[in-house]
Chains A and B, each alone.
Chain A
Amino acid sequence: MKLTILTTVAVLLLWFISGRSLRAAEDFAVTLTVSDGASHQEATTQPAAAAAPARPALECKVGGVIEARWKVTSTADRLMKDVLVHFYVVKTDRAGQAPPALEPKNVLVESALTMDFDPKSSTRSAMNVRPEEPGTYLVRIEADEGPDAAARITFAAVDLVVK
């Protein structure tokens, strides 16, 4: 009897966790393209799990103009209210590093917008940025569903290696 209850609880817990993950994965599709004019790297919605694949990296020359393009599309079948779409390029210590604190001196560009997403609606942006110093930069776009307990951050990211 005890074993049955424990098994049921475990199955429900797994179902709940996987259901949340699946639902979160389906709420937004995020794409990010970073280009220096000669070559480019693309990233799409990436899992937040530790087992996430390595981020794509673009190598470029210091002082060159880099273009970043992103698009966030709702894949949910319901209205998503007050979603925060947050983009930034920040200097990091190494490629693949977790997002650091956004100290103003290290942030080349940061943008944020809030929007209600109807099903299938989207927002997009293209912008130029010119890294002045060699180093590694994280280029990241996030769709943050808000402070709700079930909310998720969906993101895509590329490392920019400036030499």
Chain B
Amino acid sequence: MKIIVIACLFALMFGRVARAEHFNIDLTVESGKEKAEGHADTYPPAAGNNPRQVLRASREAPLIIQFFFKSNFPHDPIKNVTVRYFVALVTKPGEVPNPSKTDTVSGSFVMDFKPKGEQTPGGKVGLRQQFRLQRAGTYLVRVESENTDTDHEHFAALDLIIE
């Protein structure tokens, strides 16, 4: 009985660790010397659990989005994962819209993530893009995983207010 309880506890602990460590994500948006960051969160719920940082910038100001999305999973390759990113206008805080094909900044990668070894890094993808936004409003900047074959997915996000 004791062994079963210990095994269950271990399984619960391991499950939590594995859930927390699938991916490391670092997302930043810069406007001149101003910068906001977002880091790994999970969904559902769509908006995740962590508060989002906010960056304010003016219309037509040059902006730079950058993200690094790295696998921390130590066991098997995770195959055919979609990593999607977008900058989309939202009507209210906390909204998570579907990316549109006409968004100035949007895209996706479909790839296999190799596991992280003791001496070797896991699979990773990164992007850096210059852009400007002509329309004032609040934008959601988000990078997210899809199809990781678990009960949750990973993302990082921040709000961008164009004035």
Contact = CB atoms under 8 A, between A and B. Distances in A.
Chain B interface residue count: which class? 20 to 34
Contacts of B106: 127-128
A115 B107 contact: no
Contacts of B123: 113-116
B36 interface: no
A24 interface: no
B142 interface: no
B111 to A, nearest CB: 4
Interface in A117-140: 121, 123-130, 132
Contacts of A123: 109-112
B103 A113 contact: no
A151 interface: no
Interface stretch (B4-12, B49-57, B124-132, B145-153): B124-132
A39 interface: no
A115 B109 CA distance: 12
B130 A109 contact: yes
A125 B107 contact: yes
Given A112-B125, A114-B123, A132-B132, A126 B103 contact: no
A62 B105 CA distance: 16
B163 to A, nearest CB: 20
A130 B107 contact: no
B91 interface: no
Interface string B99-142: 00111111111111110000001011111111110000000000
28 contacts: A65-B102, A107-B130, A108-B129, A109-B128, A109-B129, A109-B130, A110-B127, A111-B126, A112-B125, A113-B124, A113-B125, A114-B114, A114-B123, A115-B112, A123-B110, A123-B112, A124-B109, A125-B108, A125-B109, A125-B110, A126-B108, A127-B107, A127-B108, A127-B127, A128-B102, A130-B104, A130-B131, A130-B132
Interface of B: 77, 101-114, 121, 123-132
